[in-house]
Each structure stands twice: as structure tokens, then as C-alpha cells.
Amino acid sequence: MSQLLSAVNRTTRGRNTSNYEDIDKITSNVDESSESHFGEEIEMTSVSVVPDDTYTVAQAVNAFGFGKFQVKLSLFTGLCWMADSMEMTILSILSPALHCDWHISRYQQALTTTIVFLGMMLSSTFWGNLSDRYGRKRALTLCALLIFYYAMLSSIAPNFLWVLLLRGLVGFAIGCVPQSVTLYAEFLPTKQRAKCVVLLDCFWALGACFEVLLALVVMPTLGWKWLLALSTIPLFIFVCITPWLPESPRYHIASDQTEKALATLEKIALDNGKPMLLGRLVVDDDSSNPSRRGRIQDLLSPELCRTSLLLTVCAFCYYGVVLMTTELFESAVSSCTRNQSMGLKPLESCTAECKTLTTQDYIDLLWTTLAEFPGYYYFI
């Protein structure tokens, strides 16, 4: 019996010793795992990354926030927007000058403005498809070169037909300028997007003010041809800085150029002083089906029909006011109006009475342009 109890005690002590050894092994493994995990955390912190499995371009932009990169992009795209504003504002200044130099009819006067908007309307879809296929950066570079080239040719046009043709080509190229706002919005965090896009419109007002001040100095001495030439200065500057303009990472993702998209996102993180996301960059849900992107019929869908209609009305009202301002300054009653009311001469063969814009007219036009800034401040 005593021998049996002794054997049981030895067996129990052996099991306890084995259990203690197992516990020691588990504790050792836990310590090694903790040390290894702690080492991984140190290594992860040293390369400044944020762990994640997958992320989209929108998630990355939101994580990086608004910083130095967006400020530089605001200046780049704002310069393009400013150049577009100058080319549109010059239309209201050019018409009175052409009246006096070439004695064009009222139909021709209206045609100088209509041809520009016609070119914009016909080319907008073309530029949108071109941007989707070859990238917004390339499209903006090409359109800036075309606007600069045709605007310079307009300044040496020998007659009205050449002016009409060249200004129509300028309008065709201007149809791509809204792509700069689209490119700008893609790099903005969701919370700041609406405010920043409204602030970008300040460059439009600045361009209009600069054009009026330039006309105030140039028109009385050098004439409208020099005004057309000097108005291309912002375009020339924009063309020079386009090599530093970033390409849309959404375009790179949609065209299977993931490495280029990652390089752009890394540049944003570096400029903004934020850690780069760790994980795999994936395509946004709205970019996964290229056939459903950029369809014109979507503007007439139940979700967007009302917005499209309101934006169209706003555009008509705004450009109508801008282009009508200088017409109101020409307060003198023309011989066309008098003769037409008396039934002496048909309107088609009638030429407008020459009345150049005075210094006070330019000052009044400047005030109407400056009135946009309080509106921007209010809506921000």
C-alpha cells in the first residue's frame, strides 16, 4: 500500500512539473510574441505609415487633409480660372472698339460674343471625353496652349472675319477650362470641398478686375489689339507651370496606372506632413464602371434634372449681366435706332454709332466686378 501511494505521488509530482514547464513555455512564447510585435510597431512608426487593408483615393485625400499641397494647387488652377475670366470679360470691352474701328453692324456685334459661347458649347463634351481618356493635366495643357495661340493671332487679325474665326477657336479651347475646377475638387477633403471651390471663384473676379484695369490703361493709348495680346499673360504663365500640375489620381486608377496614383498620393502626404496610408489602393465604386461615367443623359435624370436647369438659368443670368454692362454705357441713341423707328433704313444694313468707353465707364465696370467679392464672402 505504501509503495502504491509513493508511486501515485511521484506521478502527480511529474504531472505538476510538466504543467509548470508548459506554463513556462507559453509565457516564454507570449514574451517573444510581445517583443516581436513591439519591434514591428517601432518599425511601422519609423516609416510613418498608418495601417489599413484597402483604401480609395477619396479616403486617402480625406486622411491627408487640407495643407500645403492644396494651397499650391489653388494657385495653379486659380491662375487658369483667372485667364478664362479675362477672355470672357474682354468680350464686353472688344465690341465697342470694333464698332468704332470697323463700323460693324449690330448683328456682327452680337456675333462676336455668340461665336465664343458657341465654341464653348460645342467643345465641352469633346474636352470631357479627352480628359477621361488622356488625363485632365494633358487636356488643360493643350487647351491653354490653344487659347494662348489663337488669342495672340486675334490681336493681329486683319479684318472682322478673321477676328470672328479666331475668337470662335478661342471659345472652342475655353470649353476645357472647367476641367481645372474638376481637377482641383478631386484633391480636396470632403469637409472643405464646397468652401474651397467657392473661394476659387475669387480668382475669376480677380481676372475680371485685372482685365478692366488693363483696358483702362491700354485702350486709350494702344488700342484693342494690344489689349488682346497683353490679356494672354496669365495663360502664358499657366502654360509654363503645367509641368508641375498634378494629374488626377482617379484617372490613373481608372486607367490601371496604380503606381502613378500612389506617387501622387505620396506627394500629397509629404507636402501636408501626414503619414502615408498602409494598404492596397483600390478603385472607387463610381469609377469601377467606365461605361457609366460622364454620360450626358445623366444631367436629365430625376436626381440631376432640377440642378441642371437651375445652373443653366444662373449661367444665362450671369453672363447676360456681364455682357450687357458695357452696352448700357453706350447711352447715345444711334442712327440705326432713329432710322428704324422712322422706317428710313432696315436694321440689317445699319451700322452702330461709334462711342468709345470713357475712363468713368471703366471705373463703373470695375465696381460691378468688385461687387462679386461680398457675394463670395456671404456664401462661404
Residue-wise pLDDT tens digits, 256-271: 898 999 999 999 999 9
Q: Three-class SS of residue 139? A: helix
Residue 22 has pLDDT above 60, yes or no: no
Please name each of the domains of the chain with its CATH number.
Answer: 65-247+306-379 (1.20.1250.20)
Check: CB of residue 183 under 8 Å from CB of residue 248. Answer: yes
Whole-number pLDDT of residue 41: 41
Residue 56 has pLDDT above 60, yes or no: yes
Residue 7 has pLDDT above 60, yes or no: no
What b/e sequence results for 259-279 when a residue is b if at least 16 CB atoms lie within 10 Å of its CB, and e otherwise? eebbebbeebbebbebebbee
Question: Higher model confidence: residue 96 or residue 225?
Answer: 225
Chain segment 292-301, per-residue pLDDT in tens: 666 777 778 8
Cell of 294: 460622364
Q: Three-class SS of residue 358? A: coil
Residue 326 has pLDDT above 60, yes or no: yes
Chain segment 115-171, per-residue pLDDT in tens: 999 999 999 889 988 998 899 999 999 999 999 999 999 999 999 999 999 999 999
Whole-number pLDDT of residue 378: 81
Whole-number pLDDT of residue 316: 87
Average pLDDT for 264-291: 81
Whole-number pLDDT of residue 289: 58
Whole-number pLDDT of residue 353: 63
Check: CB of residue 39 under 8 Å from CB of residue 264. Answer: no
Chain segment 197-233, per-residue pLDDT in tens: 988 889 999 999 999 999 999 998 998 999 999 999 9
Whole-number pLDDT of residue 300: 81
Residue 364 has pLDDT above 70, yes or no: yes
Whole-number pLDDT of residue 95: 83
Output the pTM of the full model. Answer: 0.76
With a pLDDT cut of 70, the percent of the chain lying above it is 76
Residue 315 has pLDDT above 80, yes or no: yes
Average pLDDT for 180-187: 93
Task: Give CA separation, 39 vs 29, 32, 43, in Å.
Answer: 15, 10, 6
Pairing of strands 49-55, 276-281: parallel
